[in-house]
C-alpha cells in the first residue's frame, strides 16, 4: 500500500542503501586477515533459499536484526556518512607516521568510500530521527544527552550468543549535531 506520504520499501532498495553505506563488505582498514565483512541480506540471497526479502524478513533486516551482521566499524562508517551527508568516508587507523624528529614519514590522507546522493529532505528526516533518539524526551539514547554539545545517535540490541539468548546493547552517533 502506498498512500500519499507513505513509502513502500523493497528488499532491493534496503540492500542497495545498506551497500552504499558499506554493510556486508570489509571497510578496507589495514587488518585484512582480521576484519570481517558482515552480511546484509539481498533479494538474491533470499531467492536462493526459495524465499523473498519481504514482510517480516524485510522488517527484521531494516532494523538490523535477523540475518544482518555488522561490525562496530561498519556502524561507525555509516554514522560518519550520515553526519557528512555527501559521502561515506573510508575508515583509517593511522593518520600519519612520524620519525623521532617529527618528520612525516608516511601520510594516509582521508578518502571516500561511496558517494551518497540523498534528497535533502530525506537526509534531514534521518538526522532529525537521530536527534530525537537522544534529545527527544524519552528517547532510547537519552542518557547520551549532555549540556556541553548536542549529540545524536541510534541505540540497538545485538544478539550476542549463538542460541540468541543473550543480547548486547549498543549506541552509535556523532557530534556536534550541526
Residue indicated by cell numbers 535533502: 120
pLDDT one-digit tens code per residue, 66-93: 899 999 999 999 999 999 999 999 999 8
Contact 15, 68 (CB under 8 A): no
Contact 134, 142 (CB under 8 A): yes
Residues 6+ apart with CB under 8 A from 15: 24, 40, 41, 42, 43, 53, 61
> pTM, whole model, 2 decimals?
0.85
Which pLDDT belongs to residue 1?
Answer: 38
Amino acid at each position: 500500500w502506498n498512500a500519499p506520504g507513505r513509502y513502500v520499501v523493497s528488499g532491493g532498495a534496503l540492500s542497495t542503501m545498506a551497500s552504499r553505506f558499506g554493510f556486508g563488505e570489509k571497510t578496507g582498514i589495514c587488518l585484512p586477515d582480521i576484519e570481517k565483512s558482515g552480511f546484509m541480506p539481498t533479494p538474491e540471497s533470499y531467492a536462493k533459499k526459495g524465499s523473498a526479502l519481504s514482510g517480516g524478513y524485510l522488517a527484521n533486516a531494516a532494523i538490523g536484526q535477523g540475518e544482518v551482521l555488522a561490525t562496530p566499524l561498519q556502524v561507525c562508517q555509516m554514522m560518519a556518512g550520515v553526519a557528512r551527508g555527501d559521502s561515506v568516508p573510508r575508515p583509517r587507523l593511522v593518520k600519519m607516521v612520524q620519525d623521532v624528529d617529527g618528520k612525516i614519514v608516511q601520510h594516509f590522507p582521508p578518502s571516500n568510500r561511496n558517494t551518497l546522493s540523498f534528497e535533502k529532505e530525506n537526509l534531514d528526516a534521518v538526522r532529525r530521527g537521530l536527534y530525537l533518539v537522544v534529545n527527544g524526551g524519552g528517547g532510547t539514547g537519552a542518557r547520551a544527552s549532555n549540556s556541553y554539545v548536542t549529540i545524536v545517535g541510534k541505540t540497538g540490541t545485538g544478539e550476542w550468543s549463538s542460541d540468541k539468548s543473550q543480547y548486547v546493547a549498543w549506541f552509535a552517533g556523532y557530534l556536534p549535531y550541526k
